């Protein structure tokens, strides 16, 4: 009986240690300064349960930062099956989330609480190499 | 409005119904203790509402990364607790409490968005009728799924196909836990693994009925990222290895008890 209890306790302790080490690893990952590195920034505004602009064009194969501002007096959930993103935006708040790198194509998003009106698309295009790009090294998207 | 309510209920409640099917089959005596049952259901109702009431504060915390960090913590807690509960069969009480904590973590994660949606429309009288009808339809579908899936799992268990039940359980746990990848990528916490691993959206779309059902059952994603697949496979591997090790250990204890003539509760 005692040995069973001891075995049970040692198993519980092992799981706790495993959970603790996972949390420490996760904290290190989340606090790391990676999220402050530079990415192209695109802003979407939500007013009257409608996204504006409802289409944004972003470069392919590049991680992009989206800033979404909710100017409504109700919360909305930015949701996209294509982009695998889901984020609640409370009234008069601004959130930022990262998407990509994506392949060229069209990726739909919508407001989960008002899907009839709050809809939009992210259009991903191959970056064009123009004169400015060759000078600066930063490709433009048209 | 009506359709949106039903879809939202299916998205958020279907995984929970499948969780309850598993809990009832893996631990048939889980709700035998009245005190435990009362505590469990009260906590299941209270914790998501508490989470909902502090959602705005949590969302603003850690440079607007609070919601994601909380989501990751809840999903990790759900995986560790439910896997440990499956393994720790030596003490029934420990298993029940661990299983309850794991379930409450998942209910809190899935429930907060649903409560937020219901809160928006419950304040507007014009939407009450479609909202109530939507809730009834959504709950009806979810309850039907719970009964059917529980029946399927019980039949598998009854026909000595316990390995199938455990395989479904491992896939279910891995599927839920792999959602961590989207949260990590959303806040740019990891640089690696954001590329799409494969795309089968031409055959089964995430937004379709099959997509929702497969998502709830095994965490299906039509276009998963490399990180999603890595976490999914890692969780599957860890869960399978631990369950196999536990089974070998349990068999050894049983054999030893048969040899020595002592009775062991397994």
Does residue A56 surpass a pLDDT of 90?
Answer: yes
Grouping H, G, I as helix, E, B as strand and the rest as coil, residue A39 is coil
Contacts of A31 (CB under 8 A, 6+ apart): none
**Among A30, A74, A97, whose Cβ lies nearest the Cβ of B120?**
A74
Burial of B258 (0-12, 13-18, 19+ CB in 10 A): exposed
| Mean pLDDT of the A82-103 span | 92
Q: What is the pLDDT of residue A11?
A: 58
Across the interface, whether the CB atoms of A15 and B8 are under 8 A apart is answered no
* Contact across the interface for B221 and A77, Cβ inside 8 Å: no
Q: In the numeric block, which tokens belong to residue B74?
A: 């809840």
CB pairs under 8 A between A and B: 112
Contacting residues for A57 by C-beta, under 8 A, at least 6 apart: A123, A124, A125, A141, A142
What rounded mean pLDDT belongs to chain A? 79
- Asked if A29 lies within 8 A of B184 by C-beta distance, the reply is yes
What pLDDT score was predicted for residue A28?
54
In the prediction, which pLDDT does B259 show?
Answer: 79
Residues 89-108 of A with CB under 8 A from B: 90, 93-98, 100-103
A51 exposure class (CB count in 10 Å sphere: 0-12, 13-18, 19+): buried
**Identity of the residue in B67, B94, B117 whose CB atom sits nearest the CB atom of A113:** B117
pLDDT in tens, A11-53: 555 556 655 665 555 555 555 545 455 789 999 999 999 999 9
Q: Whole-model pTM? A: 0.84
Cβ within 8 Å, pair B76-A18? no
Whether the pLDDT of residue A131 is over 80: the answer is: no
Is this complex scored with an ipTM above 0.90?
Answer: no
> Using CA atoms, how far apart are residues B164 and B130, in angstroms rounded to an integer?
40
pLDDT at A22: 59
Report CB contact under 8 Å: A84, B62: no
Interface of A with B in 44-83 (CB under 8 A): 63, 65, 74-75, 77, 81-82
pLDDT number for residue B262? 61
Which of A75, A86, A98 lies at the smallest CB-CB distance from B116?
A: A75
Across the interface, whether the CB atoms of A95 and B62 are under 8 A apart is answered no
CB B243 within 8 A of CB B86: yes
Comparing CA positions, the residue from B193, B171, B175 lying closest to residue B243 is B171
Q: Taking a C-beta distance cutoff of 8 angstroms, is the pair B8, B136 a contact?
A: no
Q: Do strands A119-125 and A55-59 pair parallel, antiparallel, or not at all (unpaired)? A: parallel
* CB contacts, 8 Å: A29 with chain B: 184, 189-190
Q: What is the mean pLDDT of residues A5-15?
A: 56
Give the nearest partner residue to A12 out of B65, B94, B195, using CB atoms: B94
The Cα of B246 is separated from the nearest Cα of chain A by a number of Å equal to 10
Contact list in B for residue A10 (CB cut-off 8 A) is none
Question: What is the structure's pLDDT at B122?
Answer: 78
In sequence order, the 6+-apart residues with CB closer than 8 A to the CB of A140 are A127, A128, A130, A132, A133
Predicted local distance difference test score (pLDDT) of residue B266: 43
What is the nearest CA distance from B96 to chain A, expressed in angstroms? Answer: 14
Euclidean distance between CA atoms B5 and B2, whole angstroms: 5
- What pLDDT is stored for residue A1 in this prediction? 46
Question: CA of B160 to nearest chain A CA: how many angstroms apart?
Answer: 27
CB atoms within 10 A of CB B105: 22
CA nearest to B88 within chain A: A8
Chain A residue with Cα closest to B263? A1
Tell me which chain B residue has its CA closest to the CA of residue A116: B1
| Tens digits of pLDDT across chain B (266 residues) | 788 889 888 888 999 999 999 999 988 888 888 999 999 999 999 999 999 999 999 999 998 899 999 999 999 999 999 999 988 865 555 688 889 999 999 999 998 878 888 888 877 767 788 888 999 999 999 999 999 999 999 999 888 888 999 999 999 999 999 999 999 999 999 988 999 899 999 999 998 889 999 999 999 999 999 999 999 999 999 999 988 888 787 777 778 777 777 655 44
Calpha distance B38→B260 (Å, rounded): 41
Average pLDDT for A43-65: 93
Which residues in chain A have their CB less than 8 angstroms from residue B4's CB? Answer: 115-116
Asked if the Cβ–Cβ distance from B59 to A32 is below 8 Å, we say: no
């Amino acid at each position: 009986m005692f040995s069973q209890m001891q075995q049970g306790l040692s198993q519980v302790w092992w799981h706790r240690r495993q959970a603790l080490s996972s949390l420490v690893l996760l904290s290190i990952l989340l606090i790391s300064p990676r999220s402050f590195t530079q990415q192209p920034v695109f802003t979407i505004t939500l007013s009257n349960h409608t996204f504006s602009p409802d289409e944004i064009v972003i470069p392919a194969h590049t991680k992009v930062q989206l800033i979404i501002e909710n100017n409504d007096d109700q919360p909305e959930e930015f949701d996209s099956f294509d982009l695998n993103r889901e984020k609640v935006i409370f009234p008069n708040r601004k959130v930022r989330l990262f998407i990509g790198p994506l392949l060229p194509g069209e990726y739909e998003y919508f407001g989960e609480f008002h899907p009839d009106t709050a809809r939009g698309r992210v259009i991903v295009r191959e970056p064009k190499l123009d004169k400015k790009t060759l000078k600066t090294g930063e490709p433009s998207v048209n | 409005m009506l359709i949106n309510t039903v879809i939202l209920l299916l998205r958020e409640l279907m995984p929970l119904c499948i969780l309850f099917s598993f809990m009832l089959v893996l631990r048939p005596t889980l709700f035998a203790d009245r005190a435990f049952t009362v505590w469990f259901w009260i906590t299941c109702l209270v914790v998501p509402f508490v989470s909902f009431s502090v959602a705005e504060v949590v969302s603003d915390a850690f440079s607007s990364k609070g919601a994601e960090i909380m989501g990751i913590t809840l999903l990790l807690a759900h995986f560790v607790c439910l896997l440990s509960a499956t393994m720790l069969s030596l003490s029934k009480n420990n298993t029940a409490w661990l299983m309850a904590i794991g379930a409450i973590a998942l209910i809190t994660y899935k429930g907060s968005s649903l409560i937020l949606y219901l809160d928006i429309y419950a304040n507007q009288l014009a939407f009450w009728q479609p909202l109530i009808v939507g809730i009834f339809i959504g709950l009806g579908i979810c309850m039907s799924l719970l009964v059917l899936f529980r029946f399927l799992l019980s039949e598998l268990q009854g026909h000595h196909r316990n390995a199938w039940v455990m395989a479904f359980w491992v896939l279910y746990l891995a599927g839920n836990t792999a959602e961590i990848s989207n949260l990590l990528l959303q806040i740019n916490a990891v640089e690696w693994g954001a590329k799409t691993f494969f795309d089968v959206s031409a055959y089964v779309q995430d937004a379709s009925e099959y997509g929702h059902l497969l998502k709830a059952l095994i965490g299906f994603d039509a276009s998963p990222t490399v990180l999603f697949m890595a976490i999914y496979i890692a969780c599957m591997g860890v869960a399978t290895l631990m369950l196999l090790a536990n089974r070998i250990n349990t068999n050894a204890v049983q054999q030893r008890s048969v040899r020595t003539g002592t009775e062991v509760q397994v």
